[in-house]
Amino acid sequence: MHSIPGRRLIMALFLIFLLLPIYWLVNMSFKTNAEIVSTMTLWPHTPTLQHYKRIFTDESWYSGYINSLEYVLLNTIISISVALPAAYAFSRYRFLGDKHLFFWLLSNRMAPAAVYALPFFNLYSAIGLFDTPWAVALAHCIFNVPLAVWILEGFVSGVPREIDETAFLDGYSFPRFFIRILVPLIASGIGVAAFFCFMFSWVELLLARTLTSVQTKPIAAIMTRTVSAAGMDWGLLAAAGVLTIIPGALVIWFVRNYIARGFALGRV
């Protein structure tokens, strides 16, 4: 009753459709450039690790991964810590302009990054944060903070009010209640929100590239630059691409049991 006829076939076809381009990327990353250009082979006939070796030994390459992870983590921490109290306020209280504020926040999640690229460049240059992880982390807040508030509000609303009231009757102060009782109760929600912040900060390139120049270039930007400079080093490009998929795959693996609920933003 739950599912439709031929569901196995549909699912299998769709998964093949998803995996085929990724398979091609992985396949290519193990080939030599000569093999890539000259023949069409479904698996590497002369498998090589030279592209991966190059990335792991050349600092200009591997530092890109560290830079990316640095601002992603920074952004996740900022987003979650400012969004938590706000989510509680939106879930529990009515206050002046609450609905408008919520809409305004949400509308920022929808604002095109291209609009902000240039003003951000000016702003962060003016305050001396340009080319630091902080600039990118703060810039990514524009879409991650609203999203985190939105997700966490759903999860906080799932906690019965009686719990707050009982805690206050028991003499808990607000901060103590918040950290000792509320946060553990919505731990899975925080995980989901962190996952989304990680995801959207990790995949974004336009702002990250605009706000960095030398010191903190994200890996995604290094990829584009090196390829244009070195002509077409397809193998190296493919290997770098494979390595950018791995952190995401690891994160998914950790949250796999919460994925479905998480993608509904705690609203099912």
Partner 1 sequence: MDKTINQKAWFLVLPVFLVVAFSAVLPLMTVVNYSMQDTFGNNQFFWNGVGWFKELLDPSTDLGGRFLASLGRNLFFSLVILAIEVPLGIVVALSMPRDGWTVAACLVTLALPLLIPWNVVGTIWQIFGRPDIGLLGYTLNAMGLDYNYVSNAVDAWITVIVMDVWHWTSLVALLCYAGLKSIPEAYYQAAQIDGASRWAVFKAIQLPKMNRVLLIAVLLRFMDSFMIYTEPFVVTGGGPGNSTTFVSIELVKIALGQFDLGKAAALSLVYNLIILIVCWIFYTVMTNAGSERKPQEGAV
Residues 3-22 that bind partner 1 (CB under 8 A): 3-5, 7-8, 10-11, 14-15, 17-22
CB nearer to partner 1: pick between 60 and 107: 107
Please choose, out of 51-59, 183-191, 249-257, the segment that lies near partner 1 by the rule CB under 8 A. Answer: 249-257
CB nearer to partner 1: pick between 14 and 60: 14
> How many Å apart are CA 186 and CA 160, to the nearest integer?
12
**Cβ atoms of 108 and 146 closer than 8 Å:** yes
> How many Å apart are CA 134 and CA 76, to the nearest integer?
12
| CB neighbours of residue 39 within 10 Å | 9
Closest CB 167 distance from partner 1, rounded Å:
16
> How many Å apart are CA 223 and CA 17, to the nearest integer?
25
Total residues contacting partner 1 (rule CB under 8 A)?
Answer: 100
CB nearer to partner 1: pick between 214 and 253: 253
> How many Å apart are CA 266 and CA 191, to the nearest integer?
11
Residue 229 binding partner 1, by CB under 8 A: no
> How many Å apart are CA 1 and CA 7, to the nearest integer?
12
Closest CB 163 distance from partner 1, rounded Å:
13
Closest CB 250 distance from partner 1, rounded Å:
9
> How many Å apart are CA 62 and CA 211, to the nearest integer?
19
Among residues 148, 133, 10, 4, the alpha carbon closest in space to that of 66 is found at 133
Residue 106 binding partner 1, by CB under 8 A: yes
Query: How distant, in Å, are the alpha carbons of 108, 201, 239, 242 from that of 111?
Result: 5, 15, 33, 30
Closest CB 112 distance from partner 1, rounded Å:
4
Please choose, out of 45-53, 56-64, 184-192, 233-241, the segment that lies near partner 1 by the rule CB under 8 A. Answer: 233-241
Closest CB 165 distance from partner 1, rounded Å:
11
Near partner 1 in 130-189, by CB under 8 A: 138-139, 141-142, 145-146, 149, 157, 161
Closest CB 191 distance from partner 1, rounded Å:
14
